[in-house]
Every structure is written in C-alpha cells, then in structure tokens.
Amino acid sequence: MRHLTGSILLLFLLVMTGCGKKNPVGAGGPPARMLKQKEIDEKHAANFLAGAKDFQNDGHPKYAINTLKELLEQFPDSESAVEAKQMLAEIEKQKSDAETEANDRESGETIAVQGLLRHFPQDVKSTEAWLGHEFMVGETPIRITEKVPRDVLINMVGENVEIEGLWNAGEKWEPPKPAEEGFQLQYPLYPEGSTVVRGAGIEASSVTKIDK
C-alpha cells in the first residue's frame, strides 16, 4: 500500500513537471508571448497616434509633436510609426512655414486668421508666454487691443474664431552674451542663427465665433 501510494505521488510529480523535459525550440510559450507583446505594443502605438491627432485637431501642435516623438522612440517598428513619421514631418513643416511667414510680414499689414483660440497665461512658464504670445490661433499670436480687450478673448478661448487686425512685427531678440546683464536669465534655447521675434501678433480689431 505504501509502495502504491509512492508510485502515484511520483507519477503526479512527473506530470506536473513535464517529466523534467524542456519545451523544444519553436513549441510552447515563448513565441506566443512574443506575439502577444507585439500586439500590445501596436495598441500602445496606436493610442499615441490617436492622441497626437487629437492634439493637432484641438490646435495644440506642440503637444502633438511631443506625442509623436514619444511614439517613435518607444515603438519605432510599429505600424503606427510609419504614419507618425509623415504626420510629424507635416506638422513641423507647417510650424516652420508659419514662423517664416510671420517673420516676413511687415507692421501695418492687415491679417485675418481662423482657428481654435488658445490661451497661454503669462504667469506660467512656457515658450509662448516668454515670446509674449498670450493668445494664439494656430501659430499666429493675437494681441489684445481696446477694440478687442483681454476679457473678450478670455471668454472665447477654446472656440473656433476668426480674428482680423493689423500685424505688429514685434522686436527681434538676440540671446545676451556672458558679459551682458541678463545673461543668467532663463530663456528658451534656439538653434544658432535663428531669428527670434518677441511681441509679434495681430492687433485684433474684430473677433467672430465661427462654426467648426
């Protein structure tokens, strides 16, 4: 009876341990686990891409760019990475074109823009605030005026609007040199040779809410 009980126990242990043999290459768990991880990565990448599209559609290209770069860094081999590269190139080109166009405009030129009105509080550290861009439509800064005061724009933040007014070219800025006063002040880093303009924007003379 003791011998029979011992045999049953041994058989049970062998079954539970697979008779001590390892799974042959190509069989069992590892490939299935790898496939499952790839599917998970693809879903994560797709979520990043969807989030970037939402940011872009909501008028936040900067956040869209950061999200796309994060996608490409974490999931470079995903299917979503292909579309992410194209989308990133398009957004950065649009941003560069808008900045070039803004620098080429002359003060006094009548400008009209349409899009989502965004607000960048001047007491919150950001590149937009540092440049003096409290309100923006796309990549175009909007300056408050007597005709369109700050409280009017605040009440329309998050809405699609059309704003018209004269262009203010602002002032060109150059980073201070080590011996100059203000060298220790914090400011955004720009590529060497870049033309940086502060305080530019449309001097708003009218603002109208428009349907999406």
Q: What is the pLDDT of residues 12-59, one digit of tens each?
A: 443 444 444 445 555 555 565 666 888 899 999 999 999 999 888 776
Q: Please tell me the distance from the alpha carbon of residue 62 to that of residue 74, in angstroms, as a whole number.
A: 19
pLDDT at 150: 95
Q: What's residue 198's pLDDT?
A: 86
pLDDT at 146 over 50: yes
83, 72 Cβ separation under 8 angstroms = no
State yes or no: pLDDT of 111 exceeds 70: yes
Query: What is the DSSP secondary structure assignment for residue 54, as one 8-state letter?
Result: H
Per-residue pLDDT at 197 = 82
pTM, two decimal places: 0.53
Which residues, 6+ apart, have CB-to-CB distance to 169 below 8 Å?
105, 106, 107, 197, 200
Who has greater pLDDT, 96 or 185? 96
* pLDDT band, residue 82 (cuts 50/70/90): very high
Is 175 a residue whose pLDDT tops 80?
no
Residue 102 has pLDDT above 90, yes or no: no
In this prediction, residues 153-164 reach a mean pLDDT of 95
Scanning the structure block, which residue is given the tokens 């220790």? 184
Q: Which residue type does 152 have?
A: V
Mean pLDDT along residues 70-95: 89
- Neighbour tally for 171: CB within 10 Å: 11
**Average pLDDT estimate for 76-104:** 80
Tokens of 40: 């998970």
User: What pLDDT does 117 receive?
Assistant: 95
Find tokens 């190509």 and name the residue.
26
